[in-house]
Amino acid sequence: MCLLYLFKSNSFFGGEGKGGVGERDSTKVEFTKECAEDDGECITDLVVDAEFKDLTEVSKGGNPLMKVGIDNDLKLSVNIENKAEHAYDANLMVEYSNHLEYAGLEEGASERVRFSCGDPVAKEDKNDTMVITCFLGNPYPPVPAKDNMVMRFDANRVPADVMTLSFFIEATMTNEDLSPEDNEKSLIVDVESVTDVQLDGAVTKSQLFFGGVIRGESIISKEEEIGPLMQQRWTVFNQGPAMVDEVKVTIDFPYEVTNGKWLLYMLEAPVVEKGNGSCEIDESYLNVVGIKPCKSNCSEKAIGQKRETYDPVEYSNPDQVDSGSVVVLDCENGTARCFKFTCILRDLTAEQNENEAIILIKARLWNATFMEDYLTAKKVTVRIHGYVEMANNSIITQTNTNNDRDTTNFDVVGPNLYISGGGISWWIILVAVLLGLLLLILLIVILWKFGFFERKTGYKYATVTQKNAETKVGTEKRQMYDEMYNYSPVPGENQPHQL
């Protein structure tokens, strides 16, 4: 066996029509081998075929459908065969998206390709594409049966905004192929991410108290004069399994009651307290009156707000709700007015600590509104609604959409309410009982010291007295006995009549 290498300019790699263009040197390799003996050339015919394994569903676009989170592995079955003469320096190249991670060959690959694939490398001119090269042989002879291998790719980290994944498989060699068009195969898989995001809203305090003096907005100079602080957190969880690259949370925020008076006054924009993202809010709703925000050591309570100092107050006000009424302030039923703001939260994986993001809202309850209009209400509840949705057009399927919405409530409690209905803490009762007991013990000790309880033992003394009287000894204790039983001694009679 011997090889003959001939060097020509652009005769083979440049292709027809390019001959003579430029001075680039290419190499034509001719072989004095069996295959060349007949006609002086080795003309091969490699055929590549490939398909996805285990993908049974088809997308709307007619491509195989992969569900990220359900289909964790993507399996690509590749067939290669040589239908003609020897192929020299034959390689099989598999290009795939770098969102996938190559996980090796499945068992059962043909002998020829079982150990012949190299490590994935980034493609030179496309950095979002990886290439695996499998060496087929030099030469790669005509084979009676196809060579096959199944390549596994880990699809767990495919972002939800990826809608398709492309594969390109190509057989290359240095000699001529009869039908180059079947030497390559392009495949597309459509990607659908499956996961479940959940929105949970919570207030830090389930009751906010109003009371004290009524301050109109013109005389409020400090944040704490507005009313107590309302803090609320909205948490988005990605329950998995797919990663969610972007969700949008919309909060319907009740800022005023229907007569136009302030309800919750927001001084600063909500923030993303945990996780990646930001909130977008119409700034014309922020600190409309221009009240000086509290910068440090801010009290959550309103200025001068102490439960004990409130006096029941009565106002005559046409807006005042009926005495004893139960009020719900809720934009969904038209009893409050809301503005909407949105927060975009990013990169929620299903992994712990990366699977949640938290939005923090701070606002002040407008004390004056409640003093004026809701003083005589039996109960006032404020409701705030929010919902989460996928932010972009990515194909993401949620396994549960019932948990995409949530509502938080808090009660607004006035001075009249907690005078009548406010419970007393258990420890106050305990202290009161203990003090009462202590007082009783003290009283008993004092009474005992002063001999109060000795009167009860008069009976004993009476017995003694009786005996003594018989023996004519002592009269002192007899006297005590007499006093106790209102016994009036009759002259000449020394003994009691009865006991």
Q: Which residues contact 407 (CB under 8 A, 6 or more apart)?
A: 201, 383, 384, 385, 386
Q: Which residues pair with 249 in a beta bridge?
A: 343, 388
What minimum distance in Å lies between the beta carbon of 367 and Ca ion? Answer: 37
The pair of three-digit structure tokens given for residue 280, joined into one six-digit string: 């977008």
Contacts of Ca ion in 357-386 (CB under 5 A): none
Nearest CB to Ca ion, comparing residues 46 and 361: 46
HEC letters along 384-429: EEEEEEECCCCCEEECCCHHHEEEEEEEEECHHHHHHCCCCCHHHH
What minimum distance in Å lies between the beta carbon of 238 and Ca ion? Answer: 9
What is the identity of the amino acid at 339? F
Nearest CB to Ca ion, comparing residues 139 and 212: 139
What minimum distance in Å lies between the beta carbon of 412 and Ca ion? Answer: 31
Contacts of Ca ion in 384-423 (CB under 5 A): 398, 400, 403-404
- Residue nearest to Ca ion according to CB distances in the complex: 179
The pair of three-digit structure tokens given for residue 106, joined into one six-digit string: 């499945």
Polymer length of the chain: 499
What minimum distance in Å lies between the beta carbon of 406 and Ca ion? Answer: 11
Q: Which residues contact 107 (CB under 8 A, 6 or more apart)?
A: none
Nearest CB to Ca ion, comparing residues 38 and 319: 38
What minimum distance in Å lies between the beta carbon of 240 and Ca ion? Answer: 11
Report residue 103: phi and psi, to 5°: -120, 15
What minimum distance in Å lies between the beta carbon of 44 and Ca ion? Answer: 7
Nearest CB to Ca ion, comparing residues 94 and 264: 94
Report residue 151: phi and psi, to 5°: -95, 135
Applying CB under 5 A, does 196 fall inside the site for Ca ion?
yes
Task: Judge residue 9's burial from the number of C-beta atoms within 10 Å of its C-beta, 0-12 exposed, 13-18 middle, 19 or more buried.
Answer: middle
What minimum distance in Å lies between the beta carbon of 33 and Ca ion? Answer: 9
Piece in contact with Ca ion (CB under 5 A), picked from 129-137, 183-191, 227-235, 294-302:
183-191
- C-alpha 110: how far from chain center: 47
The pair of three-digit structure tokens given for residue 28, joined into one six-digit string: 């034509």
- C-alpha 99: how far from chain center: 24
Total binding residues toward Ca ion, as defined by CB under 5 A = 16
Distance CA 276, CA 271 (A): 11
Within 13 Å and on the Cβ side, how many CA atoms surround 428? Answer: 3
Applying CB under 5 A, does 32 fall inside the site for Ca ion?
no
What is the identity of the amino acid at 163? M
What minimum distance in Å lies between the beta carbon of 171 and Ca ion? Answer: 8
Nearest CB to Ca ion, comparing residues 43 and 328: 43
Distance CA 15, CA 24 (A): 13
Within 13 Å and on the Cβ side, how many CA atoms surround 377? Answer: 22
What minimum distance in Å lies between the beta carbon of 41 and Ca ion? Answer: 5
What minimum distance in Å lies between the beta carbon of 355 and Ca ion? Answer: 13
Nearest CB to Ca ion, comparing residues 39 and 111: 39
Contacts of Ca ion in 38-57 (CB under 5 A): 38-39, 45-46
Applying CB under 5 A, does 183 fall inside the site for Ca ion?
yes
Task: Judge residue 25's burial from the number of C-beta atoms within 10 Å of its C-beta, 0-12 exposed, 13-18 middle, 19 or more buried.
Answer: exposed
Q: Is 40 left (phi over 0), alpha (psi -120 to 50) or beta?
A: left
Nearest CB to Ca ion, comparing residues 4 and 219: 4
Each residue 138-177 as x (binds Ca ion by CB under 5 A) or -, in order, gives ---------------------------------------x
Nearest CB to Ca ion, comparing residues 354 and 389: 389
Piece in contact with Ca ion (CB under 5 A), picked from 145-153, 194-202, 280-288, 476-484:
194-202
Other beta carbons less than 10 A from residue 213's beta carbon: 13
Q: Which residues pair with 381 in a beta bridge?
A: 328, 411
Nearest CB to Ca ion, comparing residues 32 and 276: 32
Nearest CB to Ca ion, comparing residues 38 and 314: 38
Contacts of Ca ion in 72-131 (CB under 5 A): 85
Nearest CB to Ca ion, comparing residues 246 and 256: 246
Report residue 454: phi and psi, to 5°: -65, -30
Nearest CB to Ca ion, comparing residues 35 and 343: 35
What minimum distance in Å lies between the beta carbon of 189 and Ca ion? Answer: 25
What is the distance between the terminal CA atoms of the chain, rounded to a whole angstrom?
146
The residues of the shown chain that bind Ca ion, judged by CB under 5 A, are 35, 38-39, 45-46, 85, 177, 179, 182-183, 196-197, 398, 400, 403-404
